[in-house]
Amino acid sequence: MGRSEELFEEARRFIPGGVNSPVRAFKAVGGIPRFIARAQGARVWDVDGREYIDYVASWGPMILGHAYPRVVQAVRERTERGTSYGAPTALEVELARTIVEALPSVEMVRMVNSGTEAVMSAIRLARAFTGRDKVLKFEGCYHGHADGLLVKAGSGATTLGVPLSSGVPASYAELTLLAPFNDLEAVQRVMAEHRGEVACVIVEPVAGNMGVVLPEDGFLQGLREICDQEDVLLIFDEVITGFRVGWSGAQGLYGVMPDLTCLGKIIGGGLPVGAFGGRREIMELLAPSGPVYQAGTLSGNPLACAAGLETLRILREEAPYEELEERTSYLCSEIHKVAEEVGVEVTVNQIGSMFTGFFAEGPIRDYASAMGSDLELHRRFFWAMLRRGVYLPPSQFEAAFLSTAHGPEEMERTLSAVKEGLREISGGLR
């Protein structure tokens, strides 16, 4: 028995399921999760000493790679001054200013501690601003584990949400309406049926939690127009895409301005963080300026702010987005070529340094088409890659990420593993 197996067995005695976030348990792919001991650049090492090229990237934050020297130094220096004060710091002001300067729709920002907290708070703010209660979200888009967002669809686009998780009151989940991603007609039907009741539409502008699914031409623009017509706030959940697909996020990339934006991941440089921001007239409803209460003991934590600020400074100085796009596009196109050569049907969705390979004919444009991919083939491919030293997300429905540390050597080793792995699961060349 290896050390990961021993740790997992022990963890299940003290931690529900042996993990502190469900996808880490490898339930989607089977087997025992790898317990990670350390990370550097594009590599991680497990507790048994095995090395992997990492495409999980802590689920997105590590755009510079692991343990980037300047970020490590910034955290080390800040730690020596104390880890938390429960009082304002200059770091919070500088990080807020940097976010406002980068994101065209954001005039003010509030720091929190997670993406879930950011979304929960933004929706509370939208309800207060509009005086309405209902929220429209999209099937397959994940916005954290707040009660009202843990819902799934019933039959039909206008079906009210029903709880996806035990412990969520049905009456609360029913305040959440659902529509398929990339379906503006469904959004219009929901709005017509619930006219005057919807506070906000919340969307991942690029979905990253059903695998990477891109917005079709006109989808985000159409949402903006519908929200304007119905006096509904538009919220972009850019927890993943913020500073990942470009310096100004997906809103800058697509030229669509939401009323509120939720952030996380990269703005903390790998430390726990969240934030939400938007138009001044909306944000000033927050306490202590206004009547909407929101608070957090560790909000604006100096360690997270230091790591996030240093990460954003590096991204602004080095502007790596074009090179990251080129590397990721190359990797994805080569994966597709290898799959064609081997005779395995693969659709690869990619934007910037985010990508997902689906074992399906495609196109993958929404939750239903993502769910139609071959999950058993994905499971086998995941293990084939892991055995060859490539660590992919242990779920079909999660995005993979490149960092600036993924260079030619990582590309070559990854593509060699892809070719061998696809041959293994397919039984050889056609």
Active site residues: 142, 237, 265
Q: Specify the DSSP element, H or E, that contains 100.
A: helix 90-102
DSSP SS3 for 161? coil
Q: Which two tokens stand for residue 71?
A: 């970020």
Tokens 């379906």 belong to residue: 183
The pairing of strands 274-278 and 108-112 is antiparallel
**To the nearest 10°, the Cα dihedral for 354, 53, 323, 355?**
-20
Q: Report DSSP letters for 315-337, one per residue.
A: HHHH--HHHHHHHHHHHHHHHHH
Residue 160: other Cβ atoms inside 10 A: 17
Q: Report DSSP letters for 357-400, one per residue.
A: EESSSS---SHHHHHTS-HHHHHHHHHHHHHTTEE--SSTTS-E
Backbone angles phi, psi at 52, to 5 degrees: -135, 145
Q: Which two tokens stand for residue 218?
A: 């006109």
Instruction: Report the amino acid identity of residue 231.
Output: D
Instruction: Report the amino acid identity of residue 343.
Output: G
Q: Which of 346, 407, 355 is nearest to 378 (CA)?
A: 346
